[in-house]
Structure 1
Amino acid sequence: MTGMTTVALLHAINLGAKRQVPMADLRALLGDLGARDVRTYLQSGNAVFGAGEAPDLRGRLEGALAERYGFPVPVTLRTAEEWREVATGCPEHLSTEAVTVAFLGAVPHADAVAVLRGRDVRPERWEVVGRTVYQTVPVGVRNLKLSHAVLERVLGVSATVRNWRTVQAVAALLGG
């Protein structure tokens, strides 16, 4: 991983009074773990950084966050290249509407995707692409039938969701 640019997505932080992780603290914590040139976007746990030799970076970051804040913070990592693929890979049939992106912890099993396809979530539309779910948001995020919790439960993998604007803004932080 020498010199690899990485994106870290912290799950479910800064949404309420009890799960606060200040971005300055996140930048410092990542620096303590050997990350370089750490930049964050918004207050929702999006960090871009250079990673050196960092075996089990995700596990070490999750452990350090739990130790510092006293609650578990799942983390999803993507390389810069993987992020760029997500930022340019929204299926065309979904790109005419507002879209959110769920970053999955693993590729979901085909049987789980089939179960998800069996759910009536209209007017929402969605597509699984590898470890990513692109989803339209026709009636607003708060009214989603295919919520973050449903994705995790039905697909059997961890997920963290970002809106399309955030996906694009992090892509801009990555440059190139």
Structure 2
Amino acid sequence: MVAASAGVTGRIRPPVCRTRRRESLVERLHMTFVALLHAVNLGARRKVPMTDLRALLTGLGLREVRTYIQSGNAVFSADPQPNLRGRLEAALEAQFGFPVPVTLRTAQEWQEAAADCPAHLRSEAVVVAFLRDPPDPERVAALRARDVTPERWEIVGQTLYQTVQDGVRTMKLSAAVIERTLGVGVTVRNERTVEAIAAMLDT
């Protein structure tokens, strides 16, 4: 989102310009985010109860905090701020005693990810891998060079869509393989979760 200009011209601007700037500031102060916690609640050691997560996020001054199931998915509103992801990760580690990487998406980015699954993959079950940071093109090329037949995949921006043949646990293109090859953090969600969070953002 591009902020309105704050330049001073010495002239009184028409009312419509002032109105547009007020609307832009209001939008900036009410951004909605999706936070995906990596690898929580998969075993006995990395427990993050969702009630505790909601309390933690609310305590950080985030608004309208909601969570979805136990895999570490939170929706909230916040003022745009530098290093929001870093603040979340520091607070999570302080609260729960272990590092918890976080992937952040704005509401618009999430809705785009929910809608952008390539058409040639849609006839099969698909999982979505969300990348923490933009991948290097050379590393994407290295990932393409891997033989993961019969699985198929495509990357769109910071989102990787991949087909599932015999269950997530047997996938050749696992989250660990994606992370190691691309050199960025990855967390995976199934189609149901992606669609459910998209629906939450519409309410």
Aligned twin of 2:83: 56
> In the alignment, is residue 97 of structure 1 matched against residue 124 of structure 2?
yes
Deviation at 1:60, TM superposition (A): 0.8
TM-score, normalising length from structure 1? 0.97
Instruction: List runs of 5+ in structure 1 lacking aligned partners.
Output: none
Aligned twin of 2:195: 168
From 27, 48, 72, give the equivalent of 2:54.
27
Counterparts of 1:47 and 1:31 in 2: how far apart (Å)?
Answer: 11
Q: In the alignment, is the contact (CA less than 8 A) between 1:8 and 1:77 conserved in 2?
A: yes
Q: Identify which of structures 1 and 2 has the higher relative contact order when contacts are C-alpha pairs closer than 8 Å and 6+ apart.
A: 1
Q: What's the CA shift string for 1:94-125, capped at 9, x where partnerless?
A: 01111111100112111111111111101100
Instruction: List runs of 5+ in structure 2 lacking aligned partners.
Output: 1-27
Counterparts of 2:200 and 2:81 in 1: how far apart (Å)?
Answer: 21
> In the alignment, is residue 159 of structure 1 matched against residue 186 of structure 2?
yes
Q: In the alignment, is the contact (CA less than 8 A) between 1:104 and 1:158 conserved in 2?
A: yes
AA matched with 1:163: N
From 11, 27, 42, give the equivalent of 1:15.
42
Q: In the alignment, is the contact (CA less than 8 A) between 2:33 and 2:107 conserved in 1?
A: yes
Kindly report which structure 2 residues correspond to 1:28-47, keeping only aligned pairs within 5 A, or say none.
28-47=55-74
Counterparts of 1:10 and 1:67 in 2: how far apart (Å)?
Answer: 15
TM-score, normalising length from structure 2? 0.84
Deviation at 1:53, TM superposition (A): 4.6
Larger deviation, residues 47-56 vs 27-36: 47-56
Q: What's the CA shift string for 1:1-54, capped at 9, x where partnerless?
A: 521000000000000001000001111111111111111000010001111254
Please provide the CA RMSD for this pair: 1.0
Counterparts of 1:70 and 1:4 in 2: how far apart (Å)?
Answer: 29
AA matched with 2:58: G
Aligned twin of 1:119: 146
Q: Which has the larger radius of gyration?
A: 2
Aligned twin of 1:75: 102
Counterparts of 1:54 and 1:30 in 2: how far apart (Å)?
Answer: 15
Q: In the alignment, is the contact (CA less than 8 A) between 1:34 and 1:52 conserved in 2?
A: no
Identity %: 66
3-state SS of paired residue (1:59) = helix
Counterparts of 1:55 and 1:154 in 2: how far apart (Å)?
Answer: 28
Moved over 3 A (4+): none
Deviation at 1:69, TM superposition (A): 1.0
Query: What is the aligned residue count?
Result: 176
Counterparts of 1:28 and 1:56 in 2: how far apart (Å)?
Answer: 20
Q: What's the CA shift string for 1:112-160, capped at 9, x where partnerless?
A: 1111111110110000110010000011101000000000000111110
